[in-house]
Structure 1
Amino acid sequence: MEADGGDKDKGLECYGLVYPENCDSYHGPHSIDCLITIWEEVGCEHKGYRFPNNLTIPDCESMKNSNLTAIRDNMEGVKSAADDGNDDHQLNCYGLVFPDNCDSMRTTQCGMPYHYLEIKRLFGEGTKAPVKLVKNETEALDLLNVEAARENMEGVKSSADDGNDDHQLNCYGLSEF
């Protein structure tokens, strides 16, 4: 009863887990904040299609009324399937499908900069083409996930197209004007 009343120590004794932040019971009903906390702990992104705020009302209610173990198992299953290459679950967890040569959100796994250089027409002649970067610049790129790499490169291209001379050099290897 104490565990179900929100006592985190008793929750650990009774259910074998510490209630995540924003979660007050094992069985629920849980708040949307509790579901979001678990989603974030699992490692999925807010842009994911199954982010708790993106769920349909019936799906959200079902999740809110599940026990914490079932919720975590469900969310970890989505992330695991996404990381194993399942396109649907990549959308569910991350809000995007990894490019064909990627099997992870990590740039080091798939040469992300090359993929987005090609897609966004950031030419290899640019001073910031991956093959022209020095070690500390490639290490910085390796720390980015797919979404951050894409946003970074889209920003460089957009700025170049808007006339930024430095970004035109970075992107195209020349100043257009």
Structure 2
Amino acid sequence: MDFSEIDKKYPWARLAIVVTLIALSVALEVGVHIHFNTAVAYTHVFYLVIALTGIWYYRKAAVIALVFGLIHIGVDYAMTGALDPAAVFRAAMFVIVAYVIGALSESANRYYEEREEKHRALVGFVEEVRLRIKTPVGTIRDDLTGISRRVERGEMEDGEIAAALEMQIAHAEQVVASLRELQQGVIEEHHP
């Protein structure tokens, strides 16, 4: 689900969702665990909160998972009077899952941001190339059009034609040199 529009309109939405889910999860832990005397099935709801928190807040989800784990162990201990290894294992799994989801989400987001940065740099490079060659290439085109018309009308001698074409060749070489300079800048930027 793309939350970008929701995030722009309601920047507090993610936090509100996570806090609401945490409150529901804690209520389930206390209510279901004590009332129905079961410690397994409802704990899967914790993974929803842990996964969302990991996706949105990365490794900070491990803190939420640790709190869930401690509450789970505490309620289980309060009910049984003993430390259940299964409850400790579930609590450890909460933290491990939170850390893995958080690390993967952070890595994916970092990759996305790097890709976006490279895209912006490429667009900037293309725009700079366009700006650097637009005027000189336009000038060359206009000059060659003028030379062509003057030749058609018989207004230029062979020597004048050769000189005019040499000038256009020089302009074209300047454009090529500018492109080489840009290319070298890109190479140096990506391979320092």
TM norm structure 1: 0.24
Compare CA radii of gyration and give the structure with the larger one: 2
TM norm structure 2: 0.23
Instruction: Tell me which protein shows more helix as a share of its residues.
Output: 2
Question: Of the two structures, which has the highest relative contact order with CA contacts closer than 8 Å and spacing of 6 or more?
Answer: 2
